[in-house]
Structure 1
Amino acid sequence: MLWIDPGYTIQDSTCDCCGGQRRQSRGFVHKEEVGKYAIFFATCYHHQNVHEAWIDVIFDEEWGGEHLSGPCERRVTFGCRVGPVQNSPLPACTLVNAAAAAPDQPFFGHKLSREEALSHPLLKENWEVVDHLLEAEPMLHNHIYSQPN
């Protein structure tokens, strides 16, 4: 069972590419019998009136304060886009290059390309976290499922 840490945050900022407002939630996802399991960044946009979200999920076997600021060989980051796709009335999730809009920092570990993510052993776990976020994180859920596309 997964759950979002109740201390997660939501911040508003300006989109670098279009100047519009974006909203980002971020925090830990926990897993029963594991504890801190992953960190997520879910950023919601209204690009050209299209409601989409870009989600980065960072996995590490040992989350601790000392690991958050320095390089960490164990850490990997997945990325996906959630939004409208051709020939579908419903939004879909698509793997993308991880943390593409974020500066390269040791915090992200290895930012997986789309091709790397497709064959990574943690791909199933990534989709489980993304599915959980889309269901359980209210800001993200409302942005994707309560907006006309």
Structure 2
Amino acid sequence: MKLEIDPERDIQTGTCDCCGTPFERVTGFINNEGGAYAIYYASCYHHDGIHEAWIDVILDDAWDPDDPVSKAGPNRVTIGCRVGPVANDPNPACTLVPAAYVAPDDPFYGHKLDRDEAFQHPWLSAYWHTIDHILEHDTTVQQHIYGAPAGTS
């Protein structure tokens, strides 16, 4: 499946409520050959000097081409992960977390899956494929997690 991040993504800055450090939040749409495929939120933090991103992806098998944002299909779900170093390994890894944990309960998100539900969900492999695409092709998230590409400053 070929995915493409819509170039009209939105980047906002803010301050973390728990530690007061600045962060960037990317909101973007991902399309596939059929059009709308997913919406993602990637929050890039520097908690205690650690680069991490919390990424929520909204998946729906019934995107409304006229209003994909507000008209949720009956199967719409949100799955979340944290990307960053894990115990005994400084390299970034992806770990499932409760989806859209800080977001309000709203039909927009569909069913916000907890970690156990996400492991059992039939769209989990599509979610990981989407996360891989975001980590490879969203320059803000990529540079936050992996640093600037070779040859750039």
Give the TM-score normalised by structure 1: 0.91
Contact 2:72 2:108 in 1 (8 A): yes
Contact 2:63 2:72 in 1 (8 A): no
Structure 1 residues 92 and 63, CA, compared in 2 at 3 Å: closer, same or farther?
same
Cα distance in 1 for residues equivalent to 2:103 and 2:18: 13
User: 1:26: which partner in 2?
Assistant: 27
User: 1:46: which partner in 2?
Assistant: 46
Give 5+ residue unaligned stretches, structure 1: none
Where do residues 101-140 of structure 1 align in structure 2 (5 Å cutoff)? 101-140=102-141
Structure 1 residue 42: Cα displacement: 0.5
The answer to whether structure 1 residue 60 and structure 2 residue 50 are counterparts is no
User: 2:89: which partner in 1?
Assistant: 88
Structure 1 residues 29 and 114, CA, compared in 2 at 3 Å: closer, same or farther?
same
Cα distance in 2 for residues equivalent to 1:146 and 1:85: 18
Cα distance in 1 for residues equivalent to 2:67 and 2:143: 34
Residue identity matched to 1:36: A
Contact 2:38 2:58 in 1 (8 A): yes
Structure scoring higher RCO (CA < 8 A, sep ≥ 6) equals 1
Contact 1:80 1:95 in 2 (8 A): yes
Structure 1 residue 70: Cα displacement: 5.5
Structure 1 residue 72: Cα displacement: 4.4
Contact 2:60 2:77 in 1 (8 A): yes
User: 1:37: which partner in 2?
Assistant: 37
Structure 1 residues 67 and 138, CA, compared in 2 at 3 Å: closer, same or farther?
closer
1:117-141 CA distance string (max 9 Å, x none): 0010000000000000000000000
Contact 1:72 1:107 in 2 (8 A): no
Q: Which moved more, 1:105-114 or 1:84-93?
A: 84-93
Q: Which runs of 4+ in 1 moved over 4 A?
A: none
2:89 match: secondary structure: coil
**Number of residue pairs the alignment of both structures matches:** 146
Q: CA RMSD in A?
A: 1.5
Give 5+ residue unaligned stretches, structure 2: 149-153
The answer to whether structure 1 residue 69 and structure 2 residue 64 are counterparts is no
Contact 2:13 2:22 in 1 (8 A): yes
